[in-house]
Structures are given as structure tokens and as C-alpha cells.
Amino acid sequence: MKMRPGSQTGFLLCGKEWTDGEALEVRSPWDQGLVGRVTKATRADARQAVNHAVASLRRTRALPRWKRREILEDVAAALIEQKERFAQLIVAEAGKPVRQARTEVDRAVLTFKTAAEEAVRFGGESIPLDLTEGNEGCWGLVQRFPVGPVLAITPFNFPLNLVAHKAAPAIAAGCPLIVKPSPQAPFTALALGEVILKAGWPAEALAVLPLAEADTAWLAEKEDRIKLVSFTGSAKAGWALKQRSGRKRVQLELGGNSALLVHGDWADLDDAAVRTAHSAFNYAGQSCNSVQRVFVDRNIFQSYLWKVVDYAAKLGLGDPANEANDVGPLIRESEAERVESWIKEAVAGGAKLVAGGERKGSVITPAIFTATAPGMKIRDEEVLGPVVMIEPYDDFEEALAQVNHSKFGLQAGLLTRDAGRILTAYRELEVGALIVGDMPSWRLDPMPFGGVKDSGMGREGLRCAIDEMTEPRMLVMTGID
């Protein structure tokens, strides 16, 4: 990616070329300083990207598995070498605290390394077909083939690793890729595109297009040569996109208001409180699986609540470039104003604000609530901000029902050492994953990741994403000598 001294300048990547044109400004969520200007992609650019993608499919499909693995390994090596460059881009355009930004780069490295392993591992099977008289000598072979061009739509909050979760399996599967990054965080995606091309992926098979919403919708709705739409973002936008996508495959990784259950047999409340504070408030709670609802055994409720308050007060708050900080700004001041309005609404409705909740510009101090009730936005909706509610329970089964009382179902956390309760929760909770012994925000990138209900459909995680991006094709041999 071509850069100039000072602020970033990004030219959109569209099959072979870096293209200049009308510029969009990207400003820091922290201080509104100019991060840079990026070229705005047009519908003509999108159409050209699809043309390139379709033309490149035969080449990407024919890439031997060892070559796909080599490309993915080289991308991982480049990310390790350029770790600080990518971390600083994430800090600048997404406002993510720098230590967390470095962790995101580490996660992207694992994403590409795992995809490299899967590129030479996924395959097919041989099927016997001589199962009835007259079919002697018949057999079948099933292999997986790339579905075709993939449209990947990614949000601001993980501008490197969420793009990696689309790009890495696409390369492993042999699918050309068109990435539509968040308008707030395009530079990280463009820098990753540069790395992927240098690693040897065919230039025609990759585009990074900062498109307007209307043109993105046109790609999903009208461009039938796109075979899969992989979307990460809000539930409202994701389900609307699915409605417009016609016969295309659609994979949705959407929002959540993840819950944590803390039972009375959990011994280390200090550790639990520290983990809760970090899960709820790191990066100002701007993660789809950050903990938002906590249900605690009444026997330990007061002790746990005040430990969380104590540890939340110790989190570093402010400039994301400061190595000491954990909680930075929300992505836009308008988002901070929205979260502030939800906090005030809950207080007006009778909820008790135990700590935090003050806004200064785009920054909100970590807000801890109790005495909330169904119907409050901070309890029912995805806050995507530094807000957590903590409520007591008397009956474990009722607590499970409270977790399920949500239109979302991404992940849940459970702190107990009781095997029976663990198995009951695993059976009863309507979520994509149950994390025992830790927070619902726990994720290792190779694992299947996704949710049920309004939290999405399909799964990410490298092997699952490769399956989404490939389709089985059967060869039947009917007794040929």
C-alpha cells in the first residue's frame, strides 16, 4: 500500500492495481485527529473487482495446496515482522488500546498459521456404491471445490483479525475475495491486502474496496457472480443483508449480549472479578462477545459485585496509545452519546448505577449496574459499550432461564466446579458456545465461532469457514474396468 509521510493515504486495491480517486477522511476516535484519506470505491470499481474475481477463479482453484499453505505461512511471517506497524494502525483508526492491538496482531498470526495447516488437511472421502445387486465395481469420490468469489464485509472493532477470518480461509479454499472494510478502519485491511499480494496470492483474486452502503448492498443483491457473502457486524444490518442476497450463500457473525453465571462453589472470586472487569470493559466493551449480563449466586453476590467495582476502578482509561490504558474511546462520539442515553434510561427505570457511567467526549467510564429489569436496553440489547449488569439468583435453573431470556445467543460463561451443573448448562443454554471456567469473551481463533437466534448463522473458525467457502462435488464410477 502506498503511504505518504504523516497521515496515511490509501489507494483502493482492485485486482492488479492500486487506484486513486475521491478521498474519504478517516479520523481518530480518540481526538478526531486526521488518520488519513482513503480512496472511496465506486460501483464501477466493484463491478471491475467482480470481473477480476471471476476471471481468476480457474487460477485460484488450480493453486496446489502446498502453494496455498506457503502463501498463508508467508502472510503470518509478515505479520510477525510488521507487528508494531499493524498495531499502530489499529490504535490510530479503531481507537483500540495498544496492548490489545498487539494481541489482535498475534491472533491474526494464529489465524493465518491455522489456515495454512487446514489448506493441506481438508479433503474428501471415498464412498462404496456396490451396495445393491447390479452395482458391482461401483464407487464414488467426494471432494470439496471453492464456491467462487466471496464478498467479505467486516466491522471496525477487529480491523485486522476479522478480515483475516475471511481472507485466510478464502485463500485456503481457493476462493477469490472482495473485502469491504469498515469506513472507520480501512487502512489495516489495505495493509493486509498488500501483505497477501506480496506473499504470492494472485492479484486479480483480491480487492479491498471502501464502498458506500448502497454499493455494498448492490453487490450482495444484484451481483449474482458473488457466490458467498460473509458478514460480521450488527444483527440489524446482517439480517437485512441476508434478505437482499437471494440465492447466494450467506454466513453471518452478528452481535450478542453475552452472559456469565457465577455459582457459589467458585472459590477464587478475586480472579473472577478481574476477568469480568476486563471482559466487560477492555476496548470500551466494543466486542460482540464481551460480557454484558452477569448472574451471581446470592450467597456470594455482594462480595463479587464490590470486587468487580474495585477492579474496574483500577483499569487505565483514556488515550489508546498509552501503554497503561485498557479502556479507550468508543468508535464515534455519537456511539458514546447513545450508550449514555441507555444508561440514563436504565437509571430512570429504577436500575441502580453502582459505579461509572459518566461520559466525556467519546469516553465513558466503566458502568456497573444492578437492579435491572427486562425491557431495559442495557439488559436486552447489545450495548457495545463499557456497561455490565450484575444480578443475584437463588435457583440455578432459573439463572439458566435468565441467560436464555435474550434474542441473542452467541456465547456464555459459567464459573462452577459442579459437573452436573456444567452438563445441565451445556444442554439447556441456547448459545453457540459455553465457556466453563472463564468469560464468554474467551475465544481461540481456530475454534468454531458463531451464535444462534439473532447472533447469526454459520460458523467462523478456520475449518468451519473453509467448509462454508467450499462445496462437495461427487464423482461416480460405475464399474468401469
Please report the beta strands in 323-469, taking only residues with DSSP state E, as ranges in sequence order: 352-355, 359-360, 363-364, 367-370, 387-393, 408-409, 411-415, 433-436, 452-453, 456-457
Q: 149-183 burial by CB neighbour count: b if 16+ within 10 A, else e?
A: bbbbbbbbbbbbbbbbbbbbbbbbbbbbbbbbbbb
Smallest Cα–Cα separation from 331: which of 158, 199, 72, 73? 158
Q: At 131, phi and psi to the nearest 5? A: -95, -15
Active site residues: 253, 288
Q: Are 409 and 426 in contact (CB under 8 A)?
A: no
Tell me the CA distances in angstroms from 314 to 311, 324, 325, 326, 380, one per residue in order. Answer: 5, 11, 10, 10, 28
State the DSSP H helix or E strand holding residue 99, giving kind and residue range, or none if neither: helix 98-119
250 close to 469: Cβ distance less than 8 angstroms? no
| Residue whose grid cell is 483514556 | 318
* 7 exposure class (CB count in 10 Å sphere: 0-12, 13-18, 19+): middle
In angstroms, the Cα distances linking 11 to 2, 40, 41 are: 7, 9, 9
Separation CA 260–CA 291 (nearest Å): 7
Distance CA 348, CA 350 (A): 6
Bridge-partner residues for 393, per DSSP? Answer: 297
User: For the chain, how many helices (H) and strands (E)?
Assistant: 15, 25
CB neighbour class for 426 (10 Å; exposed up to 12, middle 13-18, buried from 19): middle
| Residue spans of beta strands (DSSP E) within 11-154 | 12-14, 17-19, 23-27, 34-39, 125-128, 138-146, 150-153
Please calculate the CA angle 382-387-391 and round it to the nearest 5 degrees: 95
The SS3 assignment for 59 reads helix
Burial class (CB in 10 A: 0-12, 13-18, 19+), 368: buried
Query: How many C-alpha atoms does 288 have within 13 Å on its Cβ side?
Result: 27
Pairing of strands 411-415, 433-436: parallel
Biggest alpha carbon–alpha carbon distance for the chain: 80
